[in-house]
Amino acid sequence: MINQRILAHFQESAELKSNAAAELVQPIAAAVELMFSALSNGNKILCCGNGGSAADSQHFAAELVGRFERERLPLPAMALSTDTSIITAIANDYSYTEIFSKQVQAFGQAGDVLLAFTTSGNSANILAAIDVAIERDMRVVALTGKGGGAMNQRLTEADVHICVPHDRTARIQEVHLLTIHCLCDGIDVALFGGDVND
Ligand SMILES: O=C(CO)[C@@H](O)[C@H](O)[C@H](O)[C@H](O)COP(=O)(O)O
Ligand SMILES: [Zn+2]
């Protein structure tokens, strides 16, 4: 019955967040450091993902360019899933696999960060974007789940892999959203120190 299913979703989500925290603190902290250092050097963050993860990448960019919990200057972040003309032209003329990698080629510069969301770790267009980012001497923060899939073979030691220990896409995305907010908070704290009420 529906009430039981809803309760089960809440319970599974809460348990995952609670159980995954210890494992994810260190890679999330490493991602904050990497992003703060890039932003401090005048670099930017490019973000990509498919489906719900496209929305996650846009959510992160919105909080950097707009704001998270504090007033501050806009920070340079850009989601690569928002320009339908660019995406449809590349998908139509080349392939769907290249919709993000060509944008990384166009916009990415050495020292920039690619924030890549894929719950399976296997989406071809995300892996292609990562390959181009690494070629261009960018750093990668990858948010995955399901053991990380092909992502495990893609990243270098300079990159950060935040892999949610679960096999269900929806649950992984829920932890990705929490991670986005930890990243925004961490960047704000690195910029200004203290907590939100300081
Ligand atoms: O939001 C959801 C499922 O919760 C879907 O839209 C989901 O993001 C799509 O199926 C994606 O294509 C899955 O790709 P990925 O996470 O494996 O890279
Ligand atoms: Zn979803």
- Return residues with CB closer than 5 A to ligand 2 (ion): 52
Question: Residue 197: its pLDDT value, please?
Answer: 52
Q: Which residues line ligand 1 (CB under 6 A)?
A: 50-53, 118-120, 123, 126, 169-170, 173
Annotated binding site for Zn(2+): 59, 63, 173, 181
Tell me: the pLDDT tens digits for 106-125?
A: 999 999 999 999 999 999 99
Confidence at 78, pLDDT banded by 50, 70, 90: very high
Question: Residue 15: its pLDDT value, please?
Answer: 98
Q: What percent of the chain has pLDDT over 70?
A: 98
Question: Residue 67: its pLDDT value, please?
Answer: 97
Task: Give the distance (Å) from ligand 2 centre to CA of residue 56.
Answer: 10
**Predicted-complex ipTM score:** 0.98
CA distance 140 to 154: 10
Q: Is the pLDDT of residue 198 over 60?
A: no
Annotated binding site for substrate: 50-52, 63, 92-93, 118-120, 123, 173
Domains of the chain and CATH, by start: 2-192 (3.40.50.10490)
What integer is the mean pLDDT of 65-90?
97
Question: Residue 137: its pLDDT value, please?
Answer: 98
CA distance 163 to 151: 10
Q: What single string gives the DSSP state of each residue in 133-198? A: HHHTT-EEEEEEEGGGGGGGGT--TTSEEEEES-S-HHHHHHHHHHHHHHHHHHHHHHHH-S-TT-
Of 96, 115, 154, 169, best ligand 1 pocket probe by most atoms within 8 Å of the beta carbon: 169
